[in-house]
Structure 1
Amino acid sequence: MMTEEMLAIAKENLQTHKVVDQEEEELKSLINPLHIWINRASAGICYHLIPLLLNGEIFGMETEISLHLLDRKGCEELLEATVMETQDLASPVLRGITMYTELDDQTFLDAEVIILLDDVLQEAIPSFEECIQQVINQCEMYGPLIEKNARSNVRVVVMGKTFVNLKTWMLITHAPSINPQNIVTVSLLLENEAKAMLARKMGMHPSGIKNLIVWGNISGNSFIDLSKTQLYRYDSAIWGPPDFFRELMDVLFDREWIRAEFLTAMSLLSSWEIHCVGIAPAHAIFTVLKYWYLDSPPGELVSLGVLSEGQFGIPEGIVYSMPVTFQNGSWKVSTDLQISEKNQEYLQNLTYDLIREKQVALGEVEELYPERKVSPVPHLAEEDESLQAEEEGNSTKYFKYIILLGGN
């Protein structure tokens, strides 16, 4: 194999191989990757989210992804470790990964997906108002950069536990050219946690629980709406085809458990940031993106924080968690739901906090909750009293969940 003829053939083959490689690289450079930006990327949520984004389930194995990880100064070591482990995945769809610890003119450049994780420094904030001021400062920086650098069809997902409804509204305000429908906040985490608890009670798999709705303020007063919840594959005396379901309230007779244990457990979910390693929040973000790109299951409602246009009599101009369906790359509020007059009153009462937060952000009022220690929902003030102590002990945590049982 060392004859002159074979060496000439080998040389020709090598040259051809180099030409082919160069052509492939040039062709690859013409294909723009999907740019995904994640802020507070040193958080555990991001660590669990990255493999989900790179598994090809949302964007397909033919779409290359360029990841951009953003965090504050002082987080370099964690970011570097995340970058290294992401590269070690050897994912065929990962075009590249970069890290940033400062905002500049290139932040969110060419972004098609932006995931904003909660990055308010709660331990350093003594009051609601100062917490809101941090949100204002962030949005005044992020909004114009998204407006200037991101793609016009960018999809922004806000995740967190500190004034996320307000943050979403302010991003919409400071990025006016972006379609407001493309900036949403995730309430699916609360929905999934409620489903998991109900599944343990009912002795079934959480995936069989459908149409549980989270209404209102994701990081404040919310309705966990069980009135339209359906159970599929529920082990009972009545069986049917795969699309057969039972109404939850027709088989869950323990109303005291709902009003006491279920309510208390949902109220204590404010501790998830301390104990949660990020798997559940990451999966919630992944699911929202998956539905957004590939549609939600037919007939299934998904809770999502979106800008109100007056649906269900909710005031326009606030971000409010509502039931939606995803189809053809967009979402639509399920306005065909029948809401009783009593429940409509509850939904209206939940707007108090959101309107008040907006007024503080705009400088129209100075205090968020002047002389108020209980929920604005008068019908449920008794349930609020058990949570007052926690609110008074930490003014930056305002998490109370209200159970809506339809006419019960």
Structure 2
Amino acid sequence: MAEPINVVVTGAAGQIAYSLLYQLAAGSVFGPEQPINLRLLDIPPMMEVLQGVVMELDDLALNLLREVTPTADPAVAFKDAAAAFLVGAMPRKQGMERKDLLSANVKIFKVQGEALDKFARKDVKVLVVGNPANTNALICSHYAPSIPKENFTAMTRLDQNRAQAALAARLSVQVDRVQNVIIWGNHSSTQYPDAHHALVHLPTGAKPVPEAVNDDAWLNGEFVEKIQKRGAAVIAARKMSSAMSAAKAAGDHMRDWWIGTRPGKWVSMGVVSDGSYGIPKDIVFSFPVTIKDHQFKIVQGLPINEFARAKLNATAKELEEERAEANSVLEQ
């Protein structure tokens, strides 16, 4: 069996982490042959709660889980980390402006970026889950200059999973029969869930989703809006934000990054833009990617129609505004 790897989860006493930790410990993310040491980071007031989480991890009696370290010290958490799930972030509260939210998160992700830079492996894979995830990933990368920018990603897999499930329901097929749905842009209400390049596998064979749905008005209207607003709908119904589905998506994202995507399939990840599809460079933007040997590549050459171009431009503009606001905080 392989040597254990160190895996960091921040906000480890929170709801998303509570659903994520079992996946990690059970081997469903890094594989059934990969032992792990969990490094659980949270703020000092949460240490007592975290001790309860550690008890439960012990009580799982899982052979892949070798060590569990609860800590409020980023230096301890990120030491020799191979993978990091940055779940903890300042949540947006009622009446809070986006700049206020970014200001609070700059402080959090500055500390974590500096700790990654100083203590983690240089090939560490960093997934930012805490919102605003795209810009938090950009901030974190800024403070970890010795780690390649492509090692910092933001989670849009939850949006992809939501879109895939909505299309499967519309087409009355199992969810795994739908593939290559794309989430473009920001993990926000400006994101563009794009089904125009997706396929559905029917008993008669593979078919483009737009052809199978046969309702462009629905694909460009109700479908897009449903996915953009799904997080808010969950909060309205549950009185709390998505946790179980977010944790599943975080596991999906890291598993594909670690193990790779299947031939002919792509997934959506927020990555530092290289200018593909005319997107401004150096914002963290969700693209379709394929992954092999722990390295992702943006899928190139997909036709972008006028409707899609307007959506991509709108979400890119929002990310540029977030970057400018974050930079103004950094300069203070």
Per-residue deviation, 1:118:
4.2
> What are the superposed Cα offsets for residues 162-202 of structure 1, whole Å, 9 maximum, x if unpaired?
32111111111110110111110111100111111121121
Alignment of 1:6-21 (within 5 A): none
Q: Does 1:269 align with 2:230?
A: yes
TM-score, normalised on structure 1? Answer: 0.75
Which of residues 148, 155, 158 in structure 1 aligns to 2:118?
A: 148
- Distance in structure 1 (CA, Å) of the matches to 2:79 and 2:95: 31
Write the deviation string for residues 31-53 of structure 1: whole angstroms up to 9, x where unpaired: 85211110011122212212211
The alignment partner of 1:331 has SS state of strand
Q: Choose the corresponding residue for 1:176, options 134, 139, 145.
A: 145
For residues 224-373 of structure 1, the aligned pairs below 5 Å read 224-232=193-201, 234=202, 239=204, 244-259=205-220, 261-271=222-232, 272=234, 274-275=239-240, 278-340=243-305, 343-363=308-328
Name which of 111, 115, 137 aligns with 2:107: 137
The one of 20, 35, 54 equivalent to 2:25 is 54
Tell me the distance in 2 between the aligned counterparts of 1:99 and 1:40: 11
Q: Deviations over 1:246-291 (max 9, x none)?
A: 1111121234444554344324323345445622112111112211
SS class of match (1:50): helix
Structure 1 residue matching 2:18: 3-state secondary structure: helix
Task: Read off the aligned partner of 1:99 and give its amino acid letter.
Answer: P
- Cα contact 2:180–2:199 (8 A) shared by 1: yes
What is the identity, as a one-letter code, of the residue corresponding to 1:87? D
Query: Secondary structure at 2:123's aligned position in 1?
Result: coil
1:199-210 paired onto structure 2 within 5 Å: 199-210=168-179
Percent sequence identity over aligned pairs: 28
Partner of 2:89: 119
Q: Please say if residues 39 and 71 of structure 1, whose CA atoms lie closer than 8 Å, have aligned partners that are also in contact.
A: yes
Moved runs in structure 1, 4+ residues, more than 6 A? none
| Structure 2 unaligned regions, length at least 5 | none
**Alignment deviations for residues 181-224 of structure 1 (CA, whole Å, 9 cap, x no partner):** 11101111001111111211211111111111000111241111
Specify every segment of 5 or more residues in structure 1 that has no aligned partner in the other structure, as ranges: 1-27, 367-408
CA contact under 8 A between 1:165 and 1:219: conserved in structure 2?
no
Mapped partners of 2:329, 2:317: distance in 1: 15
Matched, 1:190 2:151: no
Cα RMSD of the aligned pairs, angstroms, is 2.4
Does structure 1 retain, via aligned residues, the 8 Å contact 2:188–2:228? no
Describe the superposition over 1:216-240 as per-residue Cα deviations: whole angstroms up to 9, x where unpaired. 11124111111111101x25xxx1x
Q: Distance in 2 between matches of 1:321 and 1:313?
A: 13
> Could you tell me how far 1:365 is from its partner in structure 2?
12
Q: What is the rounded CA distance, in whole Å, between the counterparts of 1:38 and 1:104 in structure 2?
A: 11
Taking structure 2 as the reference length, the TM-score comes to 0.91
Question: Residue 332 of structure 1 aligns to a residue in which SS?
Answer: strand
- Aligned partner of 2:184 in structure 1 is 215
Q: Secondary structure at the match of 2:248?
A: helix
Amino acid of the structure 2 residue aligned with 1:279: M
Amino acid at match of 1:146: L
